[in-house]
Structure 1
Amino acid sequence: MQIAIKAKCGNATQQQLELRQQWPFWDTGGLLAKDGIIDDEIESLRWMSLSDPANDENAQRQRTARENKSKANFYRLWEGQKHTLGEDYKDMLLSLHLRGVALYEQAKYAEAEDIHRQVWEGRKQTLGEDHKDTLLSLHWIGMALDNQAKYAEAEHTHRQVWEGRKQTFGKYHEYTLASLYLRGMAFYKQARYAEAEDTHRQAWEGQKQTLGEGHRATLLSRYWLGQALYDQEKYTLAAEAYQDAWEGRKRALSENHEDTLSSLYWLGLALKKQAKYAETEVAFYRLWEGQKQTIGEYHKDTLSSLHRLGQTLYYQEKYALAAETYRDAWKGRKRALGENHAKTLLSLNQMRNALSKSSASAKKRKPR
């Protein structure tokens, strides 16, 4: 395979360039890179959004200038190949594909969708409908639709990619399973929870076989299977899924990683829905401790976890401890949110209720 833009990729081999075309969807750090290959133009687009403060007008102008330069470079490359190699030649389509990816990374999803549709049509003609690169273009169309909240269209597109990749790669290939996961997400976003459950379960089962039970993608599917179950009020099964995701993410990511803590949060909620308050208490205590270390003691989410911990203590009739916990949440929320914020007042009210219950319980225990 001759690559017309080979000069932009240094000493990249054919295999490396092809690998870049088939990035795993969960590997966000390697979106456009395999074995250290990153296009200079794409790299500049990625980092400009991270390094320039949004409220700095000069930085904004510089970012716009760099974006325009990158656009011009891509279009110049594309136009040159179009005249030299022909409208539908595969190397021109690769250049246009990279343009579509750059637009996607800039959150210009409608433009990215349009570009990827052009590439998809061209690749269908030159490579065939089920060629891996044709399916990759369709995959990117689905991603662009997802990010425009066009979930019904996205689901249909991800289904097409999934069906095509089953034929091209096999049912249990990681790219096939990635498309299945994305289809499950499109179902979930439409509140089609039963279909989301079935799809995420298929993805999870396949990823366990292909990638291993502790792989990040496998754990991601397990987590979203839990979400689909929770939204159908299947709280026992949801808790099992969240437990698996939490345990796996502790090993794969670390105990206090945001994804690990997210799994623990939903585990706590699923246990609470089952009135398993002692287990809920343990979950929310761990969550609160983890959040204190990662996002800080006075972050609104940390304080919400502390408030929920107070609730679980209250439900177990541990009124004195509940009152103390609500007091800490109230003081923290006064500092973080303001004295008259609704959540601050809620913690204050709950503290008063717990104090009243504690006082009443003490009177009952007092010997006459």
Structure 2
Amino acid sequence: MAETRLIQGRYQLLDIIGRGGMGEVWRARDASLGRLVAVKCLKPIGPQHDASYLRVLRERFRREAQVAASLQHRGVTVVHDFGEYDGILYLVMELLEGRNLSQLLDDSQPHPLPVADTVEIAAQVSAALAYTHRQGVVHRDLKPANIMRLTDGTVKICDFGIARLGDDIGLTSRLTGTGVAMGTPHYMSPEQISGGVVDHRSDLYSLGCVLYELATGAPPFDHEDAWAVLVGHRDTPPEPLRSHRPELPPSFADVVLDLLAKDPGERPDDAAALASRITRGREPGAHTLQAADRNAAPDGTGIGIGAPAASGDGGQSPGVGAPLAGGQPRLPGWARHMTTGSKATGSGALPLEAVDRSAGLTGSWTGPLASPPQAAPSVEAKRPTPSPGLLDRLAIRHHAGLSFARLGRWEEAGEVHRAVAAEREQALGPDHPDTLASRYEIAFTLGRLGRPADALREYAQVAGGRERVLGPDHPDTLAARQETAYVLGQLGRHLEAHQVYVTVLAIRERVIGTDHPDTLRCRHNLAFNLSRLGRLDESYRMAYEVAAARGRVLGALHPDTLVTRYEVAYALGQLGRWDEALRTYREVATAREQALGADHPDTLASRYEVGISLGRLGRSQEALALYRELAADRTRVHGGADPETLRARHGLGVNLGRLGRWEEALAEARDVCAVRERVLGHDHPDTLVSRREVAVCLGWLDRWPDALTAYHQVATARARVLGDDHPDTLASRNDEAQCLERLGRNEEAVAVYRQAAALHRAQTPRDD
């Protein structure tokens, strides 16, 4: 683009005024009309994508650009033209003279904006949102960098209709390993975080976050860690504005807090009512409040859209780690480029034919949609372009599947994702990123349902498809390969898992650095897998290093840091250093209670491991008391049939046995086994663990024939589910052989031992 400096023979590019994750913004001259404009050029959509994907992307861009061009309001940036040139999607907009609100905040540091200015901005943005919401358009990424204040005082909202393309082009950063793209953390509504229904009220919540920052100098949930920000939006009431800045008008402070209601139904009804409320709430002496803010920096002037800035979509975001008052960065650098990935869409049905396609446009579509290829189309090219309505419905159903997963309803989640994947494959093709995203979630549910072999096949196909479409180094490709390694570990194929982890880790370190959270997650998994390979010292050292790095990058109380410290404790236990393991587990439990609460599942899981450590140290009476309390807490919080409640009860039974109370232990084991079989299934790993515990109790009670029956059932089930050569299957065969010896059936015992030994040798790598 920079080489030609001319688009469609009409727009002469003069100089870059902004650059960010989605592309560049140029100051340009419209040769036809002799005026200066701003041209936003999205990143190339080159040949790495399949034909159907590119058609959908171009159609979505065309639809979003037409919606943006149809918006005609003083408070919305005017879109003049759009199209594609040399593989680059571009949008032509009015050139604005002024500063975005993020820049104004930076200019005014260490003070917030003057009160009168903040109230005036609030009134103008509310009026603009009232107009766009009446048109059925929701912005979905309202933040200071997307709101401009011009030199004449006019306030305009930018980036309606195009920022959502960042997700389609594959530019969206991910906060977690779940495959859910997360948005700009400081301004996201709770429903955006949870994947719920997003409508015009989400814009109002984001506006509340923006106004809170303008009025106080910091967003309502101002933490360096994106996870803590999201938890704040979801769970924590914001502090009253006047506790930070007493001179704020009470009526205005109340408006902002109402906008920040967690429940959309508790926010103001619409932006029009909000604008009226702000206007009515202006106090006669508002201008005199500027005297209290006389230390604030005056507004700067400069080029509007895309005024020089270090990051963001098209250069409208503040620089990475831009400081707040006190010099603290808003987020670590790795989180600053997050975008929601789905911006301006209709809050209601806005049929495409209802849009005035000529409004604000100086020409027709100039990209490939106007020029069909001359050659005979391929089979893939014959696929009809799916309607936007179909894609939206599938996206809603995809989120419904994710919601089922968050509730632990894995069967229902799997059914939803399988149905959506089938429709997406038919509409978009097997290698389209949306189809692969659905198949990734299918694999995830299969893993949670105890079907690792099926999950492995699905992950392998997703990884292959993503490598073809996105490339081997793309984060989504690496995520699928990393999950492939995880299920290989579940299947006992730890050497293969190790090789995949090592390969993925090398790419992550090269592409995103050693301290990036995704790199640290991969190293964490590698440490876990090393312990399963028996390389315990290496596992401990790596886990210890990752815990230290996560503490440095994410904070000592971040869940990921505590997960790795939990793994450090596990490695210590495997090394027989149970005193240290007990101390570490207790520290993790205390930290999790502080960060997450006493009843959080992770806190309760740490208490469970404290019990394991106490038992290993021969302190079974303490372990028994702990498990009684834990089982009661689990029952209270999650119910008696919850898998983790049953795990606590299993620990209770084990320690009854260690204290020689075998009849009580047998009764507990049988009861837990029966509930697990009913809830989890006959062949679930937890059910088989309980059935083995029944066999152990029977043996100690000298009821060896019954014990043999139980041991044989466990071994047969594990062979069926995991394979004959899985370590758990081999361990069960050894249990069975020992029981045969107890019954004096030595020849049968020797045969079982030999069979297990042969399978073990076959899976053990040779040193050649």
TM-score computed with the length of structure 1 as normaliser: 0.65
Structure-1 residue corresponding to 2:477:
137
* C-alpha distance in 2 between matches for 1:224 and 1:333: 27
Counterpart pick for 2:164 among 4, 13, 22: 13
Greater percentage in helix: 1
Q: Which residue of 2 aligns with 1:101?
A: 440
Q: Residue 34 of structure 1 aligns with which residue?
A: 182
Which residue identity lines up with residue 98 of structure 1 in the other structure?
Answer: A
Give the 3-state SS of the residue equivalent to 2:429 in structure 1: helix
Q: 1:42 to 1:242 in 2, by over 3 A?
A: same
Amino acid at match of 1:201: Y
Does the 8 Å CA contact 1:151/1:190 hold for their aligned counterparts? yes
Q: Is the 8 A contact 1:45 1:105 kept in 2?
A: no
Q: Are 1:24 and 2:24 an aligned pair?
A: no
Cα distance 1:63–1:137, how it changes in 2: closer, same or farther (>3 A)?
closer
In the alignment, the residues of structure 2 paired with residue 193 and residue 2 of structure 1 have an alpha-carbon distance, to the nearest angstrom, of 47
Looking at structure 1, the residues matched to 653 and 575 of structure 2 have their Cα atoms a distance apart, in angstroms, of 26
In the TM superposition, residue 278 of structure 1 has moved relative to its aligned partner by 7.4
Contact 1:245 1:263 in 2 (8 A): yes
1:213 aligns with 2:556: yes
Q: In 2, distance between residues paired with 1:227 and 1:310?
A: 23
Question: What's the % identity of the aligned pairs?
Answer: 15
Give me the whole-angstrom Cα distance separating, in 1, the residues matched to 2:429 and 2:554. Answer: 37
The structural deviation recorded for 1:68 is 4.6
- More strand per residue: 2
Which deviates further from its counterpart, 273-282 or 257-266? 273-282
Superposed CA offset, 1:189-224 (max 9, x none): 434333322222222111011111111111111112
Aligned position for 2:527: 184
- Which of the residues 109, 113, 119 maps onto 2:466? 119
Q: Could you say which residue in structure 2 is the equivalent of 1:365?
A: none
Q: Any unmatched runs of 5+ in structure 1?
A: 80-91, 316-322, 351-368
The answer as to 2:611 corresponding to 1:242 is: no
* 1:156 partnered with 2:499: yes
Secondary structure of the 1:262 match is helix
Q: Does the aligned pair in 1 maintain the 2:627–2:648 contact within 8 Å? A: no
1:142 offset after TM fit, Å?
A: 2.5
1:180 Cα deviation (Å)?
0.7
Distance in 1, matches of 2:670 and 2:507, equals: 55
Superposed, 1:316-355 pairs within 5 Å as none
Q: Which amino acid aligns with 1:42?
A: H
1:73 to 424, 441, 447: 424
Provide structure 2 residue ranges, at least 5 long, that are not aligned to the other structure: 1-42, 46-53, 65-139, 141-160, 184-191, 193-339, 343-394, 447-454, 675-690, 702-768
User: Aligned letter for 2:467?
Assistant: W
Is this contact kept in 2: 1:292–1:302, CA < 8 A?
A: no
| Cα pair distance change 1:332/1:222, threshold 3 Å | same
**For residues 595 and 171 of structure 2, what CA distance do their matches in structure 1 show?**
24
Please give the alpha-carbon distance, in whole angstroms, between the structure 1 residues aligned to 2:442 and 2:670.
43
CA spacing shift, 1:193–1:70, aligned 2, 3 Å: same
- Superposed displacement of residue 266, structure 1: 1.6
Q: Which has the higher contact order (CA 8 A, sep 6+)?
A: 2
Q: Which residue of 2 aligns with 1:43?
A: 399
* Paired residue secondary structure (2:562): helix
Deviation at 1:45, TM superposition (A): 4.4
- Out of 227-236 and 92-101, give the one that drifted further: 92-101
Post-superposition shift, 1:143?
Answer: 0.6
| Equivalent pair of 1:139/1:157 in contact (CA under 8 Å) | no
Does 1:171 pair with 2:518?
Answer: no
Aligned to 2:536: 193
CA drift of 1:246 comes to 0.9
CA contact (8 A) 1:155 1:186 kept: yes
Contact (CA 8 Å) 1:284, 1:308: kept in 2 or not?
Answer: no
1:184, 1:197 within 8 Å by CA — same for their partners in 2?
yes
* CA offsets 1:228-254 (integer angstroms, 9 cap, x no match): 221221212211221122112212332
Q: Return the match for 1:204 from 534, 547, 554.
A: 547
* AA aligned opposite 1:185: F
Kept in 2, the 8 Å contact 1:204–1:222? The answer is: yes
What amino acid is the match of 1:22?
R
CA contact (8 A) 1:264 1:287 kept: yes
The alignment status of 1:147 with 2:494, answered yes or no, reads: no
Do structure 1's residue 258 and structure 2's residue 601 form an aligned pair?
yes
TM-score computed with the length of structure 2 as normaliser: 0.34
Q: Deviations over 1:7-55 (max 9, x none)?
A: 4999553556656453422xx4xx323133684353254457779896x
**What is the distance in 1 between the residues matched to 2:439 and 2:670?**
47
Deviation at 1:271, TM superposition (A): 2.9
Aligned length: 308
Distance in 2 between residues matched to 1:96 and 1:193, nearest whole Å = 40
What CA distance in whole angstroms lies between the structure 1 residues aligned with 2:535 and 2:651? 29
1:283 Cα deviation from its structure 2 partner = 3.9
Distance 2:639 2:520 in 1: 37
**2:634 paired with 1:291:** yes
1:279 CA displacement: 5.7
**Alpha-carbon distance, 1:332 to partner:** 6.8
Taking a change above 3 Å as real, the CA distance of residues 334 and 97 of structure 1, as seen in their structure-2 partners, is closer
Contact 1:42/1:102 (8 A) holds in 2: no
- Alpha-carbon displacement from aligned partner over 1:133-168 (angstroms, at most 9, x marks no partner): 2x5413312212422434323222222222222222
Offset of residue 256 of structure 1: 2.6
**CA-to-aligned-CA distance 1:100-140 (integer Å, 9 cap, x gap):** 4244245343133123124225544xxxx6x5x2x541331
C-alpha RMSD of the superposition: 4.3
Q: Secondary structure at the match of 1:71?
A: helix
Return the alpha-carbon distance in structure 1 between the equivalents of residues 480 and 640 of structure 2.
Answer: 40
CA contact (8 A) 1:119 1:137 kept: yes
